[in-house]
Structure 1
Amino acid sequence: MVGKLSKEQTKRHNRACELVDSDSELTETEREFVLDHFHESAHTGRTLDGAFFTPAELAGELHLVIPGNRIIDLCAGIGRLAWHARDLVTRHFEHLPPREIVCMEKNPEYVRVGRRILPEATWICADVLDVPGMNLGPFDCAISNPPFGRIKHSGNTPGYRGPLFEFHVIAVAQTLARRGAFIIPRESAPFRIEGGFVDQDSPAYERFHRETGITLRPNPGSPPTFSATSGATPHRPSKSSCTTATKTSWRPRPNRPPAPSSRRTSEPSGRGPLLPPRPRPYRTPGSGKTRTPCSEIA
């Protein structure tokens, strides 16, 4: 059943489904067509699970802060973040081998579609909260645009006992990777975007930081490093849940007293505030809520 789609969107969604169901290997153009036109809202109940696929523009911005050769995409959907994380053009010109990408997704239909879009990735159909016990080995970077808010989940993750699903995913990622890049709700980030990155109070984030030792920070461009140790501080991306989203990347560091808060993050050279490209907020389909890109976890 297709709902809330225009006639043209429905037509393209149906064509995407035909490509997925075909027996032939898809071309790069056909794979991208499926990625662009397969709608999560076309299947009853999908949006009830908090599933909203990442817009291409936001995924394209996030991929700029993904380092390393071995990447895991948690709550991968049909693979939008993983698609951009391949970074094919840059790696071709820098004579680097293709990245090894693992996609973890709970919804079997999304996994089926994702395997047609990214057959070169390893797809695992499983609950993200079960990942720490799977012995998948270390990754250079974990990425995710997870369902956010009070999503029903099967248990808690290391250290965090709160209700917000995006923080459970970040806690899982810390057990897997040295670095990370995520999209989380603006309300879950300790900063917002106003020309540059500006500190803001977030009770939800403060609880998460208190329970896990993970610190979120904006990363306006360069990939952060992250050494995962217990009580470490990672940097990750943030997306905005019902309002504005932000993109973040992260890295954990040993526990230390928080630095004095400055109203605006400045460059080490003292040349003034960091001014990343102004992110363009986007509206979450069907929710009336807006998101924006964000940056780091320390």
Structure 2
Amino acid sequence: MIIKEATYRKKEIEELEKLLKREDLTKRQIFLIERELYRIRKGIKGEKDAAYFINFYFKDSKNWFVLHDLRLEYKGRVAQIDHLLINRLFHIYILETKNMGQKIEITETGEFIIHYKKSRFGIPSPIEQNLRHQALLKEIIENEKLLPVSFGIRIKPRYFSYVLVHPNTIIKRPQKDKFDTSSIIKADQIYNITQKNAENLGIILDIVKLSSEETVKTFARKLLRFHRKSEVNWYKYFNIKEKITDYKPPRQYFCAKCKATISEKEALYCWDRKKIFGGKAYCYKCQQIIRKGKSQV
């Protein structure tokens, strides 16, 4: 069951595309904006690929609840969780998606190296990143007492942290006794992983502990209270002036007699007839009075 759909940062992309149309950008600013757009779009592609498999297996399930694109803020810290899976036993899966291209290499010391065409470059550990997200999520749940109480005892959840990569990505892993990479899985394996974990935990014996659908929904809604949309000031981020200084407000025109605001058309009409109006501008009503006075002379 889907509780929250992903927004895929549509607003941010629109803002960055609008910035690129500015004519006062430096070459460096253009490069940085284009690079940020590329990074966001690449990340979105990875999230969409993973969401396809997650939704395929869990969208219509009455035992699983899915929250996509969850950005939690708590006590000055942020956890950007790509996908959150919760079942009726409160097994909570924190899923981080990474679009790592064709090949990723993980060294014996836990370093992550991306292979792109003929280049190799390191990235921060997505395992550690997701564990930080898990830590903040756990803190929110515990401190705010979000979980329900059953028979006088607050339910204790189980947390599972995984990093999802595209099914076509080649993963070069070190020996397991050197560095454990079992939390790095391909997106199409997520269903089998949840089933395997259930078997290992003896889930059949826990059927009596199943919470109701409404209980899990209530928990998810409480958690969503800590969701905040990302608000980035891209002008400040890229050191761009927020206002273009050559803006000129439209002129205003006033009647020389009654001081009422008049249109540019009324003013031009008077200025084109200096013999009648003496080079001054008047509203239509005052024009008629002046014309009548002239005719009586």
Q: How would you bin the TM-score normalised by the shorter chain?
A: under 0.3
Q: Structure 1 or 2: larger helix share? A: 2
TM-score (norm. length: structure 1): 0.28
Look at both structures and tell me which one has the larger radius of gyration over its CA atoms. 2
The structure with the greater share of residues assigned to strand is 2
